[in-house]
Structure 1
Amino acid sequence: MRQLTIKIPKGNKKKVQDAIEKFKGKNTIDISSESEDVFMVYLPNQEVNNFLKEIDEFEEPEITLIPRGVITLYPPASESPDQVADVKPKSSLEIYLGGIQSVGSMFGLIGYSFVAGIIVWIGLFTTTSYLLVAAMLVAPFAGPAMNAALATAAGKGSLLKSSLMRYAVAIVTGIIASFLLTLLFPLKTLTPLMEEVSQVSKFALFLPLVSGFAGAINICQSERDSLVSGAAVGILVAASLAPPVGLIGAGLYMMDWQVVFSSLYRILLQLLGIHLAATLVFYFYGKVTPNGVRFLRGGKKTGLITTMVVVLGIGAMMYWQFRQPPFLRKASMNTELAEVLGSELNKIPNIKVLNKDVTFTNVKRNNKSIANFEATILKTDTIISSEELKDGIIQHLKKNMKYSYDDIYEVYQIHVVTD
């Protein structure tokens, strides 16, 4: 429930009371004076927007909306548990105005983005994973991303432009912070964590879709109905944005364009995926539409064109990703090739596979991406020498390993141990 205070000119008292009853208002207090009618009313969340539209005709009413959950208890007392448990999503008006309120200052946006860029660079440089999580907490990417989706759902071009501008400012600031630190503490080679972060999975689209869905649901639900904190959802939205932002700065300094382009790809894919999922949630679940929000003069054309651009953008990026193996699929190809490696090793007699792994590097050979096939083998046949066994395993793998990827240069590291 939401608490509203309404002040209107005299002569509309009965109409307002009828509207309150129509939209299931409870515990109404009439504190009218000689010159004006004043009501304090408690309405279900989803009825706030429709109620305000109903009374908007009464000579510009003055309205105070408190965006906090209120528990209303009314007769009969036996129904009190059901009354308390009746938690509805926010009204479309509150969702939209709340998004605008969350814009914050530009100084804070730049400051937090710069700090996040520093933290993520330190995490990448020192190979400290928990610092990447800390950077996700600080990075202010969730707000602009959600506001851009709100703007598309509502068809509000001005809000869309300002949200995208803030999103760009946050990302560029993080990149500058990372680049400056790399300038002060020069890198000559990527750290193992940088190598890992730079690689894109073929499932990369799933994370932004889930993030956008979760972020929009969190905004639409009332605070008493939300099982997950806003901070946690913010981390989810920034999970795949903060690391590549920090990596771009280092990649620019080192002129490692493969790292730069793969990171830019991930950032753009995150923006499009989050935008699409959140827009659909706001439109269909939050009822944020050009005609569904009071005070709003949005255009359906703006929302439709933006959505089409986003969908086409995602389609083009997916096409590019699957047409460019293994450049934009290394993270998932590691697992797939490791399964092929393990399957072939299990066919070789007199050995036990203790460990197997496949990793890609950003180094190329003969214009092909290098894949390192590594395995630790326990020799069970004492007759054959370790070197002979190692050579036999490598020859078997070169001859028999089959996979659907081209443009891969294979190198092998086979470690033979004995008990």
Structure 2
Amino acid sequence: MEVEKGELLKSKIIDKNIRDSLNFGWINFAVLFCGIIIASVGLNMDSVTVIIGAMLISPIMNPIIGMGYGFGIRDQKLIKKAFLIFLAQVAIGLVAATAYFFFSPIKEAGDQLISRTQPAIWDVLVAFFGGVAGIIGSAKKEPANIMPGVAIATALIPPLCTVGYGLSQMDWTIVFGAGYLFLINSFFIALSTTIGTLIFNFRRIRDNPMPAKNQIFIVLAAIIITVPSLISASKLVKQSYNEAQLTSFINSELPDTYVVNKTITDKNIKLAIIGDHVSKSEVKSLDKKLDDYQLGQYKLKFQQLSQGNYLSVNAFKKYVDQNQTSNSKDDDNEVKKNKDLPKLKERLEKKYPNEIDKVTVRQLADTDNKKAAVIIKLTEQGKNDKEGIKQQTKKIADKLDITASVYFTDEEK
């Protein structure tokens, strides 16, 4: 009897909390509008902190939980009210986000925007268990300490804003990708809420089970919505596996060659390299070795950026662009891998102030993190002692326990 009272109390708390969160008041819509603008700014500026802040203040999850709860207790009026609020919020969100991105001077899609266009099965899991946490939180008298975390985890606002970005740029790939992610999040939050509602109300509804047609509808909808995410996940897993195998292939089969850039397409693996010229016979031999790394379905294509120990100016710029981005975090991470790399550069510049015009040191992909590519641009005075500078560079690198591959860039080459 005590269990039933406890269960009834939980049901009453859930019912009160969910119904109280559903209203057409202008305050909720105003807060949502502000949250959408804040999230759009965060996406536009690639600021995770700003995006999280927007998710914390957004009320868009309330009607989704309301729909799931209404479906669980089979309250048609509650479902209709929650659905109408949800539609109004989506409309406001799309208008606000589209307007912001239309007038924003920054039109390029950054990483935070692009990451919301490729949903996978993991998004389904996050949405589902986020909804479970949401309904559990609603069973508490003070759910405030749980719901903010659920709002961040399920991330409803960012994909909605990304749809707005796609609409502002007329990019339908982004619109459909982000729209699908928003659909996944919304549906599985509602589904897990329905399941949680049935659990909390088990004793009350076991004699009045959900109609079979409703159960069939839910199962079919879940399958239809989940299948594309499974396909996307399989592609991501395959891509990640291929990249790992390619890295292993490069480290084992091309130990003395620096790969500036690597790209895997449907049929080819394209490698932009600095190092000795790779002959056609060597390419054929390397092609055969791809089978050992489960990459036999691809063909190798090399782009040679160097001629002997020289790099063209354009190749040098491409090298720097590929390995030194505007994001300082990349440089910080690189320094952490081998703190002696900056020392090598500093010592070369100090030893050859008149002979070296510019020097760039970059760590090579290697298990022990001790290999580095050193790109040197010599002055006219330095060109007279190119071989000596090369040998001294290797000696300095050896003292720092670095295996250096030395290359030169020359205006005339």
Separation (CA, whole Å) in 2 of partners of 1:281 and 1:219: 10
Moved more, 198-207 or 153-162: 198-207
- Tell me how far 1:291 sits from its aligned partner: 7.6
The corresponding residue for 1:400 is: 290
State the partner residue of 1:320.
Answer: 228
**Residues 1:95 and 1:347: Cα distance change in structure 2 (over 3 Å):** same
Partner of 1:247: 162
Using the TM superposition, give the Cα deviation of residue 217 of structure 1 relative to its aligned residue in structure 2, in angstroms: 1.3
Deviation, structure 1 residue 153 = 1.2
Matched, 1:231 2:136: no
Contact 1:334 1:358 in 2 (8 A): no
List aligned pairs for 1:25-174, cutoff 5 A: 46-47=4-5, 90-174=9-93
**1:345-384 Cα shifts (integer Å, max 9, x gaps):** 243153498999879xxxxxxxxx889979898x9xxxxx
Corresponding residue SS for 1:267: helix
Q: Deviations over 1:6-32 (max 9, x none)?
A: xxxxxxxxxxxxxxxxx66xxxxxxxx
CA contact (8 A) 1:117 1:174 kept: yes
Compute the displacement of 1:123 (Å).
0.9
Using the TM superposition, give the Cα deviation of residue 158 of structure 1 relative to its aligned residue in structure 2, in angstroms. 1.5
- Bigger Cα displacement from structure 2, 166-175 vs 245-254: 166-175
Tell me, yes or no, if the aligned pair for 1:92 and 1:288 is still in contact at 8 Å: no
Q: Which runs of 5+ in 1 are unaligned?
A: 1-22, 25-43, 51-89, 293-298, 360-368, 380-384
In structure 1, distance between residues paired with 2:61 and 2:123: 18
Alpha-carbon deviation of 1:284? 1.3
Structure 2: state its 5+ residue gaps: 305-318, 320-363, 365-372, 375-403, 405-413
Match of 2:241 in 1: 336
Q: Which amino acid aligns with 2:94?
A: I
Q: Does the aligned pair in 1 maintain the 2:14–2:140 contact within 8 Å?
A: no
1:109 Cα deviation from its structure 2 partner: 2.8
Aligned position for 1:311: 219
Could you list the per-position Cα deviations for residues 69-123 of structure 1 after superposition, in whole angstroms to 9, with x for gaps in the alignment?
A: xxxxxxxxxxxxxxxxxxxxx4323322331122134312321221121111111
Q: Give yes or no for contact 1:116–1:138 (8 Å, CA) kept in 2.
A: yes
In terms of fraction of residues, the more helix-rich structure is 2
Cα shift at 1:160? 1.2
Quote the Cα distance in structure 1 between the aligned partners of 2:171 and 2:300: 22
Deviations 1:115-138 (A, max 9, x none): 121111111111111111111112
Which of the pair has the greater relative contact order for Cα pairs under 8 Å at 6+ separation? 1
CA contact (8 A) 1:150 1:279 kept: yes
Task: State whether residues 272 and 310 of structure 1, in contact with CA within 8 Å, keep that contact through their aligned partners in structure 2.
Answer: no
SS of the aligned residue for 1:269 comes to helix
Name the amino acid aligned to 2:190: H
* Matched residue SS, 2:123: coil
The offset of 1:221, in angstroms, is 4.0
Whether contact under 8 Å (1:136, 1:242) holds in the other structure is yes
2:183 to 268, 274, 279: 268
Q: What TM-score, normalized to structure 2?
A: 0.61
Does the CA contact (< 8 Å) of 2:94 and 2:160 recur in 1? yes
Distance 1:370 1:218, change over 3 A: farther
Counterpart AA for 2:148: A
- AA partner of residue 261 (structure 1): F
CA-based RMSD: 4.2
Q: Secondary structure at the match of 2:108?
A: coil
* Contact residue 372 and residue 412 of structure 1 kept, 8 A: no
The CA deviation string for residues 123-181 of structure 1, in whole angstroms up to 9 with x for no partner, is 11111111111111122122112111111110111211221222222222111111001
Of residues 192, 198, 206 in structure 2, which corresponds to 1:283? Answer: 198
Cα distance in structure 2, aligned partners of 1:410 and 1:115? 51
Contact conserved, 2:97 with 2:161, CA < 8 A, in 1? yes
1:79 corresponds to which residue?
none
8 Å Cα contact 2:7/2:200 also seen in 1: no
256-265 or 158-167, which moves further after superposition?
Answer: 158-167
Task: State the distance in 2 between where 1:372 and 1:115 align.
Answer: 47
Q: What amino acid does structure 2 have at the position aligned with 1:285?
A: F
Report how many aligned residue pairs link the two structures: 307
Paired-residue identity, %: 18
Secondary structure, aligned partner of 1:205: helix
Tell me, in whole angstroms, the C-alpha distance in 1 between the residues paired with 2:10 and 2:83: 25
Q: Which whole-Å deviations, capped at 9, do the CAs of 1:321-355 have from their partners, x for residues lacking one?
A: 445xx5x7665555333223223224315349899
Q: Measure how far apart 1:319 and its partner are.
A: 2.6
